[in-house]
Structure 1
C-alpha cells in the first residue's frame, strides 16, 4: 500500500514538475513548442494526403470497374443480338446459358446477378440467375434497382459490403445496367466487384505515411535539440555567469567564440562586468576611505573634546557666579559639548557597523526586567513632558541570550523618541514572548508619520520634520544604530505609524537563529487607541503582572515564559 501511495503521489506531482520545468527551462519550452507545432503540421498533412490518396484510388478503381462491367454486358448483348433463336425456346435457353457464362468470363468479377424487369413468357425457360451464392438479391438496394430500371441506357453503381469466404466483409462496388433479350424482354444485370486489393493498398499507404510522420517528428526533434543546444548554451552560460556576478563573484566572465551575435553579446557582457567590477572596487575603496576618515576624525576629536568638556564643566559648575547672559551661555556650551560627545560616539559606532567589526557580548537577560529598568530611568524625563510611561508585560521574563548594553540603547532611543513626539499622551511599552522570540513594543499617541516618512525613519541623519525643534537632543543616528543592533541579534526592528494617530516600534529578538523567521509576539499594528489608554485608572506595574503571570495556568506549548 505504501509503494502504491508513493507511486500515486509521484504521479500527481508530475504536472507540477512539468509546469516548473516549462517555466524555468527555455530549452524545454522551445523543444516542446517545436514538437507540438511540427506534430500538428505533420498530422494535418498526413490526413490530407491519406484522404486524397483514398479518393484518387477509389475513383480510379471505380472507373476501372465501370469500364469492365460495361464491356462485359456489351459483349453479352452482342451475342444476344447476333443470335437468331427468337422463336425457339430451346435456342433461347441455350443463348441465355451462354449469356450467363459470357458475363463472368468477359469481366473481372464472378459475382453476377440478373433480375427480370418485364414478365417472362410462360414456357420460355428463361429466368434470372445468380452466379455467386455469397451475394444475394438483398444486397441490391431498392434505390439502385429503381435507377437501373428508369435509365436503360445508363450505368448505375453503389458501394456495398461484400461477404468474403472467411466470414468477413470487404468494401465493394456493384454496377447495374440493362440487358435486352429479344422476345423475352429486359433484364437487370448487376456485377459486384470487391475492393479488398484497393483497401490493402490504401492501408499500406496510410501506415507508410504515419510511419514517415513519426520518423520525421523524431528527425525534427533531433535537429531542434542540436540547433537549440547551439543557441541556448551561450544563453545558459550568460544566465549562470550573471547569477554568479550578482552573487558577488566579480572575476567571472563569459567565453567569447567567433564573431557572431552571441560573441558580440559575450563581449558586451564582459565589458559591462569589467565596468561594474571597477566601479564596485572604486566605491569600496571610497567607502574604506570614508570609514577610516570618520573613525580617525572621531578619535582625533576626542582629545580636544575632552579638554573642552573639562573647561565647560568647570564653567558650568561656577555659572551661579556669572551674570545672567554669561550663565546662560555657559549652560548652552555645556549642553552642546555633551551633544557633540554623543555625536562622536554614534559616529564611531556607525563606522564599526560599516567596517563589520561589531561583536555581540551575549548574556542571559530578561527583556521584561530590562524594560522596567529603562522605564524607571526615563520616567522623570517623561513626566517633564507630561507623558506617562506604562508597562504591559504578559511575557518576556525568562532570560534570552542578548547583548544587554545594545538592547538598553535601543529601548532608550525608542522611548526617548516616543517622549519627544508623544504630545503629552501616555506611552505604552509592551513586552511579550512566544516559543520563537521575545519582543518589546513602544507605542505613542503623538504626531505620527506618513507612509513615506515611515519608510525613511531608519535613514541616517533623516528627520520627518526638520523645522521641529528637539528638546531632548539626538544626533539623527539613533534609529539607524538601533536597526543595526536588532540585525546583529538576528532580529528585526519594525515601525507602524499613522498621522495624528501615533507610532509603534516593535523590536523582536529570536531565541535562536534557527527560528529567526518566527512571528513576533507583539503585533506591529496596535489595536488600542488613545481613549482606551487614557481610560486606565493607574499604570500597570510589572510586579502585578508578574504575579498574575506566574499564578495563572499558561500552557508552555505556546512558548510563553513560565
Structure 2
C-alpha cells in the first residue's frame, strides 16, 4: 500500500523519459523501507505456497472427477455390452439368422442401449462390423443420430479387434470438435452366423470439465483473497512493530543533531515500552554528561581567554621594560647584558604564545570568521619565503620556490594562509639540518595547493598521526631555536579546515618531511583532486644547485592576478 502512494506524493510531474529511473527508485525504496520489504517478502512467499497448494488441490480434484466419471462410464459400457450380447444371443437362438432382419435387430439393440443408459453425457452408440471376416450373413453398421465417428481412433479400433474373445471393454480419452473432453469406449460383440461386431459408446465430459473449472475458479479467488488477507495482516503487524522503531530512529537522529531534549513516547508495558524507557534513560544520562562536559569546555575556553586577555596588560609592561633594558644592554656588564637579551627573547616568545592561545580559544569557541579576497597564491608564497629567508640563511638552508603555472588566483584569507606557510617554513628550517627547502605551488581548475619540502631528519611513522596535536613534539629533548610555541601546526590545521581545504603530511626518517596544503579556488566549490602529489616530483634538481640560489620559475600566464 505504501508503495502505491509513494509515486503520487514524491513524483508530481511524470515524464515519458522517467520510466528508466523506476528500477532504481524501486530498489532504493526496497532498501529504505523495512515495512515494504517485509510485506513484499511475506506476500511473495505466501503467494508461492498458496499457488503450490492450490495447484495440487486442482490436480487432485480433477483426477478424482475424471476417475469417478470414468468408473461410471466403464460400468455403463460393460452393462450395455452385456445387454447387447444377451439380446443377440437370445433373439438369434430361436430364429434362423438368414431369415432375420439383422439391420432391424441392430437398430433395436442401439435403441435399447440408449434407453437403459443412465450415465449423463452420452453422445451416442454405434455398432461396426470387424473387418476381415467371411460369414453367411452380414449385419449392416448402425449408429445413433449425432454419433461422432471421428473420435473413434484407429488405436481404439485395433485394441478392440485384436482382443477377440476377451470379455472386457476398452476406453480412450478424446476431444470433440468444439474442444470438450470425452471418453470413447469400445467392446466386441459376437453375432451368431454374422461374426464379430464392435460396439462403441461416446460419453461427453463437459459437465465434469465445468465442475472442475468452477472449482479452479473458486480456488483461485480464495487463494487471492487469502494472500491479500495475509498481506494486510502482515502490514498491520509490521506497522505496529516498525512504527515505534521508526520513532526511535527519528529521535536518535535528533539527539545526534544536538536536540538533547528529544525522547521516545512511553506507552504500555510491552517490550517496545521497555525499550523506550531504556532509551530515554540512556538519553537522560547522555544529556547530563554532554551538558556537564559542554559547561566544563565553556569554562575552560573562557578561562583561557580571560587569562590570555588579563596577561596582555602586564605582558605589555614587561615587554616595554625589557625593550628599555635590551636597548641599553651595551652599557651593562656582560652577565647583565646577557640577562637582558634572554629576557627580551623570552618575552617575545611569550607574546607569540599568548597570541596563539587566544587564537586557539577562538577556534574552540567557534568565533573565527574568514576575511576572504581574490589572492595570487604565488605572490603570497614569495612574500612569505622572503620574510623567512634571513632566518633560513642563519641555519644554512636555501629556500627555493617552484611555481608550475595555472589558475593561481583563489578566494582565501591571505593572513591565515601566510601564517600557515610561515609555520611550515619554520618547522622545515628547524628540522632541515641546513639542507635546501623547496616550496612548490600549483593549481588546477578547482583547487590551489603548495608544498613545503625539507630534506632533514624526518618523522617516524608512528609519530605522523600526532604532528598536528597541540604542544606535541617528536623529540622532547630537542630545543626550539626559532621561537616555536607548539601550537603552529594545530592552528594551521584549523585554518585549512576553515577554508574547506586540508593539510596533510608525508615523511620518512632520514629523508625529510613534506607538508601539503590544498584549498578550493572558492569556498562554494569542492576539491576533486589536489594539484600536487605528496611528496611532489623533485623538479628543483633540474634547475642547477651550483649557484646555491634558485629563482622563482613561473610557467604559464596569470591573468587578473592581484596582490594580497
Displacement after TM superposition at 1:37 (Å): 0.7
Please give the secondary structure, in 1, of the residue aligned with 2:100: helix
- Alignment partner, residue 98 of structure 2: 89
Displacement of 1:418 after TM fit?
1.4
Q: Deviations over 1:158-188 (max 9, x none)?
A: 111223xxxx232111112222222333322
Task: Verify the 8 A CA contact 2:138 2:194 in the aligned structure 1.
Answer: no
Q: Which residue of 1 aligns with 2:188?
A: 178
TM-score by length of 2: 0.87
Structure 1 unpaired stretches of 5+ = 1-5
Q: Distance in 2 between matches of 1:212 and 1:536?
A: 96
1:96-245 matched pairs, under 5 angstroms: 96-107=106-117, 108=119, 109-117=122-130, 122=135, 124-132=137-145, 135-136=148-149, 139-142=152-155, 145-146=158-159, 149-150=162-163, 152-163=166-177, 168-245=178-255
Quick check: 1:396–1:561 contact (8 Å CA) kept in 2?
no
Relative to structure 1, the CA distance from residue 304 to residue 64 in structure 2 (aligned partners, 3 Å threshold; closer, same or farther) is: same
The answer as to whether partners of 1:144 and 1:157 remain within 8 angstroms in 2 is: no
Partner of 2:39: 31
Matched residue, 1:359: 369
Taking a change above 3 Å as real, the CA distance of residues 135 and 449 of structure 1, as seen in their structure-2 partners, is: farther
2-structure distance, mates of 1:397, 1:192? 97
Matched residues in 1 for 2:362 and 2:166: separation?
A: 115
State the TM-score, normalizing by the size of structure 1.
0.87
Question: 1:422-473, CA deviations, whole angstroms, 9 ceiling, x for partnerless residues?
Answer: 2333222123344444433222233334555333322212223334443334
1:31: Cα distance to partner?
Answer: 1.2
Q: Which residue is 2:426 aligned to?
A: 416
Question: In 2, distance between residues paired with 1:120 and 1:356?
Answer: 118
Check conservation: 2:407, 2:445, Cα contact below 8 A: no
Q: 1:132 to 1:540 in 2, by over 3 A?
A: farther
Instruction: Evaluate the alpha carbon distance shift between residue 499 and residue 184 of structure 1 in structure 2; reply closer, same or farther with a 3 A threshold.
Output: farther
The 5 A counterparts of 1:241-390 are 241-306=251-316, 308-309=318-319, 313=323, 331-390=341-400
* Counterpart residue number, 2:22: 14
Find the aligned partners of 2:460 and 2:23 in 1 and give their Cα distance.
Answer: 46
How many residues end up aligned between the 2 structures?
A: 544
Shift in Å, 1:191: 1.2
User: Is 1:65 paired with 2:88?
Assistant: no
Q: Is the 8 A contact 2:408 2:442 kept in 1?
A: no
Shift of the 401–170 alpha-carbon distance from structure 1 to 2, 3 Å rule, reads closer
CA distance in 2, matches of 1:122, 1:300: 143
C-alpha deviation, 1:318, in angstroms: 6.2
- Does residue 53 (structure 1) correspond to residue 61 (structure 2)? The answer is yes
- Cα 1:526/1:533, change in 2 over 3 Å: farther
Distance 1:260 1:137, change over 3 A: closer
Q: Is the 8 A contact 1:367 1:397 kept in 2?
A: no
Alignment CA distance shift 1:66-1:363 (3 Å): closer
Distance in 1 (alpha carbons) for counterparts of 2:205 and 2:360 = 96
- 1:366/1:397 contact within 8 Å kept: no
